[in-house]
Amino acid sequence: MTDPQVIRRHFYFSAVQERGFHRLSFSTAHSFWYHGLGDDKGNMADLSAKNIKLFVFDLAGTTVDDSVEGVPLVAVAMKETFEKHGYNIDAEIVNKYRGMEKREAIQCILNDLHKQRNTSPNIDVEVIFKDFKYFLNKHLSSIRNEIPGTTDVFRKLKSAGLKIAVGSGFPHSVVEAIVSTLDWTELVDYLSSAEKAGHGRPHPAMILSAMKFFGITDPRSVVKVGDTKIDVLEGKNAECWTVSVLTGTQSREFIKESNPDFIVNSIADLPDLLLNGKLQFQS
């Protein structure tokens, strides 16, 4: 198992491999390989479902409907936060960095805004992050719905003896609140967050912490499910299987650039990957 080492924040913008972790450029996203598997995707269809022990799910956009009057919660909170500090941003720039730990996302947004102005940001990210948490909690009560089919899928996986973990770039208290609100306390076996794990995506810390909790050492017995490119990178850095869903804000074409192992329309389609005791490759 790869030792989780600290990864430079900008590492996912190049297409080489370093210290066992995948590093992927958004513009050269197809130059990826699989540890111990080669590039023959036919091998994937031979992976027996009985060897899967753990599913690690993202929250917003994957299992949780995070819409606040039609706009994702994180986009609403970010917009209000940046407006407080004199910036006008739209949902597009927020969506670009969905899935990241929110301090890092804030820094990336600031960098983009000041790059457009040819200036350098001179504001403390921690100050903005504190305000972001305020606006996030302000709207958290609006999040009451799951992505359709999520609870049913969780129950099916649990009945098959599989473990379920969730991980998110949201603060840990928000992760706990969402799981409680959606009555998943008895279904989800392990809760993680970038805050709790100590690293945000694409670092695999959240997945590795779940594996450690369950005593799982083989990453090929783990499936990471998410709705963003950075979810895929997180999974690849943990060397586990990656499943992308299309219920978030990123398109199939955009996500496909990160070369996930499987793409399905939504979490409700996940059981179809386990038909006949085999993972079925989705073209």
Q: Which is higher by pLDDT, 83 or 44?
A: 83
- Per residue in 146-155, pLDDT (tens digit) is 999 999 999 9
Residues contacting residue 97 through CB under 8 Å, at least 6 positions apart = 104, 105, 108, 109
Provide the pLDDT confidence category of residue 227 given band limits of 50, 70 and 90. Answer: very high
**pLDDT at 25 (0 to 100):** 28
H helices of the chain, in order, are 73-84, 91-96, 102-117, 125-139, 150-159, 172-181, 194-197, 205-214, 229-237, 252-256
Give the pLDDT mean for 161-176: 95
- Please check whether residue 261 is in contact with residue 223, taking contact to mean a CB–CB distance below 8 angstroms: no
Provide the pLDDT confidence category of residue 271 given band limits of 50, 70 and 90. Answer: confident
Helix (H), strand (E) at residue 164: strand 163-167
- Per residue in 19-36, pLDDT (tens digit) is 333 333 222 222 222 222
Provide the pLDDT confidence category of residue 250 given band limits of 50, 70 and 90. Answer: very high
Q: What structural domains does the chain harbor?
A: 40-65+145-277 (3.40.50.1000), 68-142 (1.10.150.240)
- Per residue in 73-90, pLDDT (tens digit) is 999 999 999 999 999 998
Closest CA to 100 of 196, 244, 22, 201: 201
Residue 93: phi and psi, rounded to 5, are -70, -30
